[in-house]
Chain A
């Protein structure tokens, strides 16, 4: 697919370009600041933008703000945010518009190449990808909430993977379970947490994250 990269550190930018071209993608532009990112997306209409949260000149959250602007532009821009650290507030902002095609990952995840490429594909296809670390933070925060307490350990595992944006088949593969039992777990979870049942993965992720953020 056609990808735009916005990352200010040359080392990482080149690494990402090499990694993506080696795995059969086309990097149409690799820029190092937010303004050029907006231009490049406007010009190339890529299938996906990989954006670092911190970009020059301020090295604050310019990348995230640019991504939110791209998303607010009305067109279906798909953005995968990469960051050295995760902040739940950022995840909430990215998910706020309720559309899919968005992801938020730690830069470390790039080293787990297959998972990273899978995340790239899922976001480009309109799915949602959340870093396990975001989900972990949500869980620690919700450790006292009765709904999550009522879940069995296995159900909590499934909920965690769901929150990261995994599809049923991916959850089956990760937990080595049959499709049927995963579906049963999910039904139970939704019943216990009092969530409206949702079939498509993206709506499901949103429901789960909204619940955990609430």
Chain B
């Protein structure tokens, strides 16, 4: 409490100097840059001025941290190396550059007024509280009533001190509120604004999109390869077997065994295609939705699985598919690696999200970096969701997926 107040006083008092310095620098910088902008030196000087302005603004960010508890984050976008002209354009394009200047200018009047007010607010009650110690030395015969008894008699001075002590917490609160107000102003101009948030969000989206595109491409390659090596090859083999049978028939020989062989090759091709389809998008997911598909998974698992959730809830296909594969992988891992015997699946619809939580009683020690889980994580992140795994040695392992359902 007292430290917060002391920091607030320091902040406000220092604001007088900081504001003056900031204002003076802004004026100098603007004039210099304006004068030199028509010469060759304009660009480098602008960049130098911007550099120093940023240093000053960052000092202000640290100072605001005295009051706000931690320094403000820097809002600058990294500028790519390039020609002076390009860098000037990049710096000038950033709102942060101009918001810094706006703060440096505004902080002068703001710092002056609040600095004086804060200092006075801090000194007056303290001085009043100490009245008996010094008032006797100050002659004030002309003070009007009611001040005269308060200032000139000993009991009056003690009463005056008492008033000071009563006012002290109020003054402290006022000083803190004032400092917070100024620091909030600094935050409004110096902290990262909507612009940087959007820039960062765009960068993040670009990155996840690139990952999704890669994952999709890898998936398509896998499907292509599976089709090529599996079903397609078997159908070609069946065709060859039939061609052979046709030749034998033309020659009047027996061809029953060849035809039977061709049929069994086709059966294998179909089984192969079914396996592939199940890996792409399980049919029951299309037919009946997530809950039914998970119930089928649970029934097929050797573990004792309990499933809770709304049987009739339908979600976007991509979400259902991701949730299905999360559970499928989780169940497979629990059965294969964790030596689990029980598993609980909980589906919770939230506000625009679907949460899938898988808990097993296995021996734990699972790792999200495993290949299967890593692919899942990519799949979930592609939907802007999150996949977390907690698996301490000794268990229990909890696989938790949050999937946004943009509706």
Chain A residues in the interface with B (C-beta under 8 A)? 53-54, 59-61, 84-85, 87-89, 106-108, 111-112, 137, 140-141, 143-144
Contacts and interface: CB of A to CB of B under 8 A. Distances in A.
Contact of B299 (A61, A88, A108): A88
Contacts of A141: 299-302
B36 to A, nearest CB: 71
A89 B283 contact: no
Contacts of B299: 88-89, 141
B388 interface: no
Nearest to B268: A108
Contact of B300 (A53, A60, A112, A137): A137
B302 A144 contact: yes
B314 to A, nearest CB: 11
Given A89-B296, A144-B302, A111 B283 contact: no
B300 A88 contact: yes
Interface stretch (B52-60, B89-97, B286-294, B323-331): B286-294
A137 B278 CA distance: 14
Interface in B266-288: 266-267, 270-271, 274, 277-278, 283-284, 286-288
B245 to A, nearest CB: 15
B287 A54 contact: yes
Contacts of A88: 296, 299-300
Contacts of B277: 84-85
B295 A89 contact: yes
B302 A84 contact: no
Given A60-B286, A60-B288, A85-B274, A108 B267 contact: yes
B300 A87 contact: no
A131 to B, nearest CB: 12
A137 B300 CA distance: 7
B199 to A, nearest CB: 44
B267 A61 contact: no
19 contacts: A54-B287, A60-B286, A60-B287, A60-B288, A84-B283, A85-B274, A87-B283, A87-B296, A88-B300, A89-B288, A89-B292, A106-B270, A107-B270, A108-B267, A112-B263, A140-B300, A141-B302, A143-B302, A144-B302
A60, A84, A106, A108: residue with the most chain B Cβ atoms closer than 10 Å: A108
A130 to B, nearest CB: 16
B209 to A, nearest CB: 30
Category for how many chain B residues contact A: 20 to 34
Contacts of B271: 108
Contacts of B278: 85
Interface in B298-343: 299-302
Interface in B170-192: none
A15 to B, nearest CB: 13
B47 to A, nearest CB: 63
A100 to B, nearest CB: 24
Contacts of A137: 300
A53 B271 CA distance: 18
B180 to A, nearest CB: 60
Contacts of A144: 302
Nearest to B273: A84
Contacts of B292: 89
Nearest to B292: A89
Contacts of A84: 274, 277, 283
Nearest to A65: B287
Contacts of B287: 53-54, 60-61, 87
Given A61-B288, A85-B283, A108-B267, 7 more contacts: A60-B287, A85-B274, A87-B283, A89-B284, A111-B267, A141-B301, A141-B302
Nearest to A111: B263
Q: Lowest 6 CB-CB distances: which A-B pairs, in order? A: A61-B287, A60-B287, A108-B270, A85-B283, A87-B284, A111-B263
Contacts of A143: 302
Nearest to B270: A108
B300 to A, nearest CB: 6
Contacts of A106: 270
Contacts of B274: 84-85
Nearest to B274: A85
A85 B286 CA distance: 13
A106 B268 CA distance: 13
A54 B301 CA distance: 26
Contacts of A107: 270
A87 B289 CA distance: 13
Nearest to A142: B302
Contacts of A87: 283-284, 287, 296
Contacts of B302: 141, 143-144
A86 to B, nearest CB: 9
A138 to B, nearest CB: 10
Contacts of B286: 59-60
A204 B10 CA distance: 91
A63 to B, nearest CB: 10
Nearest to B271: A108
A89 B288 CA distance: 11
A58 B287 CA distance: 9
Contacts of A140: 300
A84 B283 CA distance: 9
Nearest to A107: B270
A43 to B, nearest CB: 28
Contacts of A61: 287-288
A53 B301 CA distance: 24
Contacts of B295: 89
A205 to B, nearest CB: 19
